[in-house]
Amino acid sequence: MVTQPTFKTLEHRGWSERARIYDRYSGRFCRYGVAALIDAAGISRGQTTLDVCCGTGEASLAAAACGAIVTGVDFSEDMIVAAQAKGSNVNFQVGDAEALIFEDAAFDRVINNFGTLHLADPERAIAEAARVLKPGGRYAFTVWRGPEIAPLFRIVPEVVSAHGTLEVDLPPAPPMFRFAEREEAMRVLSAAGFTDVTFGDIPATLDFPLAELSDFFRHAFVRLTMVLDRQEPTARARIEEALGERFQDFTDNGIVHLPLPALVVSAARA
């Protein structure tokens, strides 16, 4: 019997395939969270810091630039190789956010830049962050805001539904914007042993040439690319054409400037 892929295995495959080009595509807008993340976590010189879902290491490098002693972990070996190639003093290693190999109370700070929405069991990952933090240590993560204020996450499902289908052969995914809901974030963090929860808005923008829409969407996203790849060819063409039309309102001199607001959430380990 053929084993069907899980959400986690598909995420792993998708991001591993994009590791060498991550900075050119996804990294261009994910890096907007880094400065806010470092500030919210209160990272400073000498602090032991764990960067979970570190990807190609941008947040890890920023924390190290503050003088922190940084370990970066990602479930994709290809991402870790890309991070290590940047030649820093960060200890990059393969690791699972939902089953960290570190001892209890090993770190002063834990950060996660836009990785939470790619986790199959984010509550477990948050509990793991609490476990490896020292009492009084701080945890911070970034998440995208939902479709009510982020045009990308409203326009894309509307267009796909109008010209194709969202009912494709993919395993169910966790709610993408769950932790952008402040009450839900506070509830889960409190249950994991966190206190002093704070929130901060991040004004981010997704910029790409309108003429390169198809290329950008194929390489910058994983779940969305899988949805688009499962459309009939004629439907896929109509979807891309309709997306280009909808993005015209955000386009200047051929460059799309799409608001992509985010949220930084931080909390202290009790």
pTM of the model: 0.96
pLDDT at 2 over 60: no
Q: Is the distance from CB of 79 to CB of 55 less than 8 angstroms?
A: yes
pLDDT at residue 87, rounded to an integer: 78
pLDDT digits 0-9 by tens, 195-217: 999 999 999 999 999 999 999 99
CATH entry 3.30.70.2860 includes domain 7-145+172-204+260-269: no
Taking residues 166-173, what's their average pLDDT?
94
Which H/E stretch holds residue 106?
none
In whole angstroms, how far apart are CA 264 and each of 37, 105, 132, 145, 211?
Answer: 6, 23, 20, 10, 32
Query: What residues does each domain of the chain span?
Result: 7-145+172-204+260-269
pLDDT > 90 in the chain, percent: 98
Residues 6 or more apart whose CB falls under 8 angstroms from that of 57 comprise: 51, 72, 82, 83, 84, 86, 88, 90, 92
Residue 1's pLDDT band, with cuts at 50, 70 and 90, is low
pLDDT digits 0-9 by tens, 54-106: 999 999 999 999 999 999 999 999 999 999 999 789 999 999 999 999 999 99
Taking residues 114-138, what's their average pLDDT?
97
